[in-house]
Amino acid sequence: DALVNYVSALEYLRPSPSFDRYWPATIHLVGKDILTTHAVYWSTILMALKIPLPKTIFAHGWWTVSGEKMSKSRGNVVDPHAIVDEFGTDAFRYFLLREVPFGQDGDFSREALIGRINTDLANDLGNLLNRSLTMIERFAKGIVPEPLATTDTELDNLLQQTAQEMLRTFDIHLGSLEFNRALEAIWSLVQLGNQYIDKSAPWTLAKKPEDKPRLNTVLYNAAETLRFLCLALYPFVPQAAEEMKRQLGLVLNFSKPLLSAEITWGGVLPGTEIAKGSPLFPRIETTKTQGDARVTQDQQPAPSPTDQITIDEFRKVSMRVGLVTAAERVPKSTKLLRLQVDIGTERRQVVAGIGTKYVPEDLVGKRVVIVANMKPAKLMGVESQGMVLAAGEDEVT
């Protein structure tokens, strides 16, 4: 009876619009522990009834906790409603589909979930949207400018090719239920988009009127990259995709098949007005635990002071106020920024670990305090001629 319910609910014994619409199933998704029941016994019943078989039967894996199957007796059941209440539906969906290949078992942990949110969604995707719209607001009065094809570079061409190839690759993986690989293809464009902005340095182009055509091209390409990402992200994070669409001022209908014009570079109309909003995915502070018995840093006894210095030693520290004239991300690092700081008598290159708190273009024109007499050091291959002093909730850099 349980198996026959699949077709009896659709009134298979008589002409029925529901049966014609929903059967045969394109994909019959089942748990791996009941695969035999559905692939052998249910298929036999359908063949006896002369009813078409499902086109695909796919068995998904289990989520475990610390390598163990969830069970009430073990007390390790994860409540998905509580996870959604705390982190949101989109973030939870993204984690489940990105963390492990669909069909295999996966091990759930809050740490892994928060890591995906902070690294992929906040630092990569959220940062790309925020910095792109910030620069369109600042350098183009909130209007997507018209690009000039004659200013295209190899990097522009690579960005365009990657965006269009991403949609083709994404479609192949989605059809094969390889959701993690589809998301990997999407994130290759997210990461290239951030690199494109870093290398194009629109904040520098904005300083010279003769670079205005190039600046307009860079800003347009950033907006167009985000449009491609909107299209691909909707099946995975629909609420975020809708919000991206709103902030970008796009007119898209996610419920309809994509038109050829929509998957071709150049879909954003010059003159489109943006509406920058709140961050898509705010970073999760890892010291804030809910329903967690672990002791947080605030609850631990303060360590005894060590390595104290005298006032004479402190007097040796030379602190200078400098003006940030340029800023960019250090390649392959989400935390490090390379700053050019004018301290009056000279210009210094300083590497600062504040990349998770600031986007580079927001620092240009700001004043910072640096330790000016530190011995130069190399961080990820980039020489730093000082240290930026910055205070935060978690650490001091």
Could you write out the DSSP letters of every residue in 40-109?
A: IIHHHHHHHTT-PPPS-EEEE--EEETTEE--TTTT----HHHHHHHH-HHHHHHHHHHHS-BTB-EEE-
Confidence of residue 183 (pLDDT cuts 50, 70, 90): very high
The predicted model gives 96-101 an average pLDDT of 90
Residue 344, CB-side half-sphere exposure with 13 Å CA sphere: 9
User: Which pLDDT score, from 0 to 100, does residue 303 have?
Assistant: 47
> Which segment of 6-20, 149-163, 183-197 scores lowest on mean pLDDT?
6-20
pLDDT tens digits, one per residue of 238-282: 999 999 999 999 988 887 776 777 888 989 999 999 999 988 999
Counting residues of the chain whose pLDDT is more than 90, the rounded percentage is 43
pLDDT in tens, 281-337: 998 887 644 444 233 334 344 444 556 777 777 777 888 888 888 888 988 787 889
Pick the more confident residue, 196 or 11. 196
Max mean pLDDT among 68-82, 185-199, 383-397 falls in 185-199
Q: Give the least confident one: 3-12, 111-120, 175-184.
A: 3-12
Residue 391: pLDDT band by 50, 70, 90 thresholds?
low
Q: Is the pTM of this model over 0.75?
A: no
For residue 205, pLDDT over 70 is answered with: yes
Rounded to whole angstroms, the Cα distance separating 96 from 104 reads 11
In the chain the domains, ranked by start, together with CATH numbers, are 1-60 (no CATH), 110-263 (1.10.730.10), 311-389 (2.40.50.140)
Residue 252 has phi, psi (to 5 degrees) of: -130, 145
Average pLDDT taken over every residue of the chain: 86
